[in-house]
Chains A and B, each alone.
Chain A
Amino acid sequence: MSIRFEQVSKSFGTKHVLKQVSFKVERGEILFILGRSGMGKSVTLKHIIGLLKPDSGGVFIDGQNVSQLDDIQLAKVRQKCGMVFQHPALLDSLTVFENIAFGLRTAQYIQLIGHPLSEDDIRRRVCEKLADVNLKTEILDCLPSDLSYGMQKRVSLARTLAPEPEYLLFDEPTTGLDPITTNAINDLIHDLSRKLQVTSLVVSHDMACALKIADRVLVLDQGKILAHADRSTLKLSEEPLIQDFLAETLALIPPAELDVASIGATAP
């Protein structure tokens, strides 16, 4: 039960975004991929879910090479994964309820659980996931355009959580959110990982979040892995980019917040 990158390279025209990138994420682990904008973080995530195919190398989910699967096999692998996109990516023409219920009504999901969910079960699941992201059921009949950007991002997260995937892929999950919601989302990622053994891969440039909840941190720069370490080791790194990230983080939050020992206290 793991996600594995093996010597993955990807170029767009003359731009080499990933250069022989290799890493592994174990079950129940939270891996943060940090890096500056445009360094291939989102591209890495899209390879896992088969939205992009590597030019060379392989991406493996539970031992299956994603880039070599046919459409039916790929759909089955995708069913194990949930992805939270950089944009909320909610379907404009559907209400909040319909958006969150979308993944519960697909033929793939019905095939996975062996039977279609009743409307009552769907409603219960939708309300439960909405509560997980600190939203009230009053917004169920709203269209995405009626919500603020932060609320849309949380609805998007609820939609991803609804089919209860084994792997969660987050592309900048807290960008554009207020600090309280950011903390709530981080705690949620932490919780899912610890209680349900959900594997999480988080793409971000938020070092503070990484130092709070990540098991391991991978720093991408110029298409290569600059560092791959656990939180405490990362803080000792002498790489200038990591030092810059740390300096920015330390300037923004008090040192106590960064204490690894306090992680348990941040989770609800």
Chain B
Amino acid sequence: MIQFFQDLGATSLFFVRVVRTFFATQGNFQPILGQVAFVSLRSLSTVLFAGLFVGAILVLQLDLILAKYDAELFLGGLNTSTVIREVGPLIISFLLAGKIGAFTAAELGTMRVTEQIDAIECLGTNPIQYLVVPRLFGIMISSLILLFIGLLVSIGGAMAVAWFACGITIPEFTSSIPKFVSIGTFVAALFKALVYGTIVATVSCHRGFIATGGARGVGHAVTQASIFTNLYILFANFGLSHMLTLIDTLTEGLMGGSP
């Protein structure tokens, strides 16, 4: 348990160090943009497939339950709300952790154990600025882009399956969406994706950056990055869901109380 909090503390300090380096140095825009393109394009196909099937599976499951209560008209709203609030940000972050997080931890870990990072430092370049800032901010920004694409595909897929498999037309599907989804829902989803993306980026960069002990050390770094990313995301999801629900309730209360 103590080890867990030590790891969490070290990862948090690493994040602060990277953010400070970002603000203290210049010329970061171009490399970050390059990483955004790299991460987004590399993850696009996976996100498209996952988004499509998550939407489709969810609509089938929800239709089974709603049909029992003759409430199929709420299928569109319920499905869209679930995808935006919870499933979308979570699935995207787990995919990012598996594909980009592992890749980043392995890449930086290999650079560390083969002394490439030391060499960069000795040649007068800050390795945090040169290697970590672009990757960390690139993954964070990409998580938002990928979430947006994933949600569109997921809702599109759900609409198609609802029409073909459940007999719910597109107007019927979309008519219930405003009852369950507001601008606040989108903002909450984007916030969640940003937090999860930050976790993926920070943990994988940190684990790679501090790797030691040759090929075995790199393997260990990748495994640790994967485990800790998923754990932190689940904890963050629990906390954020509580916090956002509370904000939602307070906002509704205030709106209801106003004339």
Residues of chain A at the chain B interface (Cβ within 8 Å): 46, 49, 51, 71, 75, 78-79, 81-83, 85-92, 102-103, 106-109, 156, 159, 163
Determine the distance from Cα of A49 to Cα of B114 in the docked complex, in whole angstroms.
17
A-B contact pairs, 13 of them (CB 8 A): A71-B126, A82-B122, A85-B119, A86-B115, A89-B114, A89-B116, A89-B118, A91-B120, A102-B123, A103-B124, A106-B125, A159-B123, A163-B123
Selected from A79, A87, A92, A156, the residue in CB contact (under 8 A) with B124 is A79
Please determine whether A108 and B124 come into contact, CB atoms closer than 8 angstroms: yes
Selected from B111, B116, B122, the residue in CB contact (under 8 A) with A78 is B122
Answer yes or no: B121 CB below 8 A from chain A CBs.
yes
Contact with A along B116-140 (1 / 0, CB 8 A): 1011111111100000000000000
| Residues of B close to A92: CB separation below 8 A | 111, 116
Tell me, rounded to whole Å, the shortest Cβ–Cβ distance linking B209 to chain A.
14
Determine the distance from Cα of A92 to Cα of B121 in the docked complex, in whole angstroms.
16
A-B contacts counted at CB < 8 A amount to 54
Residues of chain B at the chain A interface (Cβ within 8 Å): 111, 114-116, 118-126
| Residues of A close to B126: CB separation below 8 A | 71
| Residues of A close to B120: CB separation below 8 A | 91, 102
Determine the distance from Cα of A90 to Cα of B119 in the docked complex, in whole angstroms.
8
Tell me, rounded to whole Å, the shortest Cβ–Cβ distance linking B131 to chain A.
10
> Which A residue's beta carbon lies closest to that of B113?
A87
Tell me, rounded to whole Å, the shortest Cβ–Cβ distance linking A199 to chain B.
16
| Residues of B close to A81: CB separation below 8 A | 122
Tell me, rounded to whole Å, the shortest Cβ–Cβ distance linking B173 to chain A.
46
Please determine whether B116 and A91 come into contact, CB atoms closer than 8 angstroms: yes
Greatest chain A CB density within 10 A among B114, B120, B124, B125 is at B124
Selected from A51, A71, A82, the residue in CB contact (under 8 A) with B118 is A51
Please determine whether B122 and A49 come into contact, CB atoms closer than 8 angstroms: yes
Tell me, rounded to whole Å, the shortest Cβ–Cβ distance linking A21 to chain B.
21
9 cross-chain pairs, A with B, having the tightest CB-CB distances, nearest first: A108-B124, A89-B119, A103-B123, A106-B124, A89-B115, A85-B115, A87-B114, A83-B122, A87-B115
| Residues of B close to A89: CB separation below 8 A | 114-116, 118-119
| Residues of B close to A82: CB separation below 8 A | 122
Please determine whether B124 and A109 come into contact, CB atoms closer than 8 angstroms: yes
> Which B residue's beta carbon lies closest to that of A88?
B114
Q: A49-B122, A92-B111, A106-B125 are in contact. List 15 more A-B contacts (CB 8 A).
A: A51-B118, A71-B126, A75-B124, A78-B122, A83-B118, A86-B115, A87-B114, A88-B114, A90-B119, A91-B116, A102-B125, A108-B125, A109-B124, A156-B119, A163-B124
